[in-house]
Structure 1
Amino acid sequence: MTPVVLGLRRGWTEIKHTFTNPADLWAYLFPAALLLGTVFFMRNATVPGTSFSLGARTLPSIFGMGLVLGGLMTTAQQLIMDREDGTLLRAKAVPHGMTSYLSGKVALVGGMTLVGFLLQLIPGLFLVDGLSVDADGWLTLLWLIPVGFVATLPLGAAIGSLFDDPRNMALVVMPIFGLIAISGIFYPITAMPGWLQGLAQAFPLYWLGLGMRSVFLPDSLAAVELAHSWRHLETFGVLAVWAVIGLVLAPVLLRRMAGRESGSAVAARRERAMTRVGR
């Protein structure tokens, strides 16, 4: 367990460093401000067929979206950047270094996602009315957040292992943004065509948004969801399937990636990066 403990300590240190880095602070504050601004301007609109604020309905969906963005995009981005600057090669060179490295990344991504969640939750409670969490909601959070992370973090690591150039992040970002558009995050999915509804339900984003809505919204709002239910069993099942897929793929792809890391590969990536800067 020593490499894991060391990795968790490293992750905690990196989280603290994010509060002193202007770029990291911007990465915390700008998305939160943008999303909260969106919710604020939606506060007077209503969910179709109800008198409930569309902004209040959207905010919990954004919480679920934040888990996906943290687990997939942040994890993939961290791996790609660490490959380029040689951090991953140094981790590979020491005994149990990859175990320590990966546990540290889990702690870092989890901590950053939690900070982003709090930055959205606390101001959001003052922007919209109608959100509340009862005892069942707290119990749902206890399993939804861990299962959500397990369903997305390994996938993010697997995706990050496929790329060695930060510019390729667009290949990750664009499909995720497409899923956001069809997954009922900013507007009920029932307004989408049937085939888009089926496509959205194949991925974790829709289910994490639905799960978060079930935590913070009154039960009467389940009537505007598909099947007129919060569908906790289906949420757990789909997330569990993606967790298994990620946990199977990630170790294989990470081992292959680590096996290909070498000093010459890192030097070549640095040369490409310096060429881009020179231009």
Structure 2
Amino acid sequence: MSTLAPARRTRPVSPAVTALRAGCGRGAIELRQSFTNGAELVSHLLWPVLMLTALFFLRDAEFGSSGLLLGTLALPSMLGMNAAMGMVTMSQALTAEREDGTLLRAKATPGGMRGYLTGKVISVAGGLIADLTILLVPGMFLIDGLAADDAGSWLTLLWILVLGMVATLPIGAILGSLFPSARSQGLIQLPVIGMISISGVFYPLTALPDWLQIVAQCSPIYWLGLGMRSALLPDAAAQVEIADSWRHLETAAVLGAWAVLGLALAPVVLRRMARRESGSEVAERRERALQRVG
């Protein structure tokens, strides 16, 4: 007498896991499309090329009597600045897709907002890593005096980059949910550009007035640049930094604080923004956009 084997029970997949899987797939598709679309490909190449051009003219200039080349100091700082600009990219994407109804469609799907944000983080972070690679690899051949010849330097670069993106991308999501249209993005870009100009990217922070040094150290942009410099420059270069030190503990603490703040606030702000979204509001924003074009 034969007996039938009991059917194997399959463990149900949680909605959160399903949303994360969908988000990962969405992010991979968006990232791949950004390198096959002509306009987006140009945007990936434009800033690195412009910065490499600036580095070419700075490569032989010395910073004061330190014996350090200004181009050598500037390359890691540019990497930190580009990483921090991910918050602007995230903000622009959320604002544009809120305006065209993409966020409304995500809201209408179970787990759609979680999947949407997961995909957006993957696509923005992946694009940032590609942009940084396009800048760093030629820059290492163009600039002398870098100290990126051991595993410790690359490990430092990795944890600074990861922590920096975790600290800045949620801020971009918050800003993108606060502004209703793509035209308002100038309100975000101007303060960010202002912070970049005083963050020690193109000139050491110690050359600025004391009060500007305090303001700059409140921003994650400065700490990203400092962390990148600590990874890629020799120890002697720390003499032009505040306290003649790379301040790794302070870097981790400040970036970590920004990360905790952003990760705590972003879900709350985004949920409130999603609750306010409706088809009539999307149609109204689209009508206003068409009137501006017309």
Q: How does the TM-score come out when normalised to structure 2?
A: 0.92
Partner Cα separation in structure 1 for residue 135 and residue 65 of structure 2 = 27
- Residue 9 (structure 1) shift: 1.0
- Residue 47 (structure 1) shift: 1.9
Q: Which has the larger radius of gyration?
A: 2
Partner Cα separation in structure 2 for residue 199 and residue 271 of structure 1 = 41
Q: Secondary structure at the match of 2:178?
A: coil
2:198 matched to 1:197? no
2:234 matched to 1:226? no
- Residue in structure 2 matched with residue 188 of structure 1 by the alignment: 204
- Residue 142 (structure 1) shift: 3.1
- Residue 32 (structure 1) shift: 1.0
Instruction: Kindly provide the CA deviation profile for residues 171-211 of structure 1, in whole angstroms up to 9, marking residues without a partner as x.
Output: 11000110111110000111100000000001100000000
Q: Secondary structure at the match of 2:85?
A: helix
Q: Secondary structure at the match of 1:44?
A: coil
Instruction: Kindly provide the CA deviation profile for residues 83-131 of structure 1, in whole angstroms up to 9, marking residues without a partner as x.
Output: 0111100000010000100000010011110111011011111211112
| Farther-moved stretch of structure 1 (102-111 vs 128-137) | 128-137
- Residue in structure 1 matched with residue 183 of structure 2 by the alignment: 167
Partner Cα separation in structure 1 for residue 174 and residue 277 of structure 2 = 16
Residue from 111, 126, 134 that aligns with 1:96 = 111
Matches within 5 A, 1:205-220: 205-220=221-236
- Residue 215 (structure 1) shift: 0.5
- Residue in structure 2 matched with residue 235 of structure 1 by the alignment: 251
2:123 matched to 1:108? yes
2:125 matched to 1:128? no
Q: Secondary structure at the match of 1:13?
A: helix
Partner Cα separation in structure 2 for residue 122 and residue 9 of structure 1 = 28
Counterpart AA for 1:105: K
2:36 matched to 1:20? yes
Gaps of 5+ in 1: none
2:96 matched to 1:81? yes
| Farther-moved stretch of structure 1 (107-116 vs 127-136) | 127-136
Q: How does the TM-score come out when normalised to structure 1?
A: 0.97
- Residue in structure 1 matched with residue 278 of structure 2 by the alignment: 262
Higher helix share: 1
- Residue in structure 2 matched with residue 155 of structure 1 by the alignment: 171
Identity %: 55
| Farther-moved stretch of structure 1 (137-146 vs 242-251) | 137-146
Partner Cα separation in structure 1 for residue 121 and residue 21 of structure 2 = 12
Gaps of 5+ in 2: 1-16
Partner Cα separation in structure 2 for residue 48 and residue 13 of structure 1 = 48
- Residue 51 (structure 1) shift: 2.0
Partner Cα separation in structure 1 for residue 89 and residue 228 of structure 2 = 20
How many equivalent pairs are there?
A: 277
Partner Cα separation in structure 1 for residue 24 and residue 251 of structure 2 = 29
Counterpart AA for 1:250: A
- Residue 78 (structure 1) shift: 0.6
Aligned alpha-carbon RMSD (Å): 0.9
Counterpart AA for 1:214: S
| Farther-moved stretch of structure 1 (75-84 vs 29-38) | 29-38
Counterpart AA for 1:136: G
- Residue 132 (structure 1) shift: 2.8
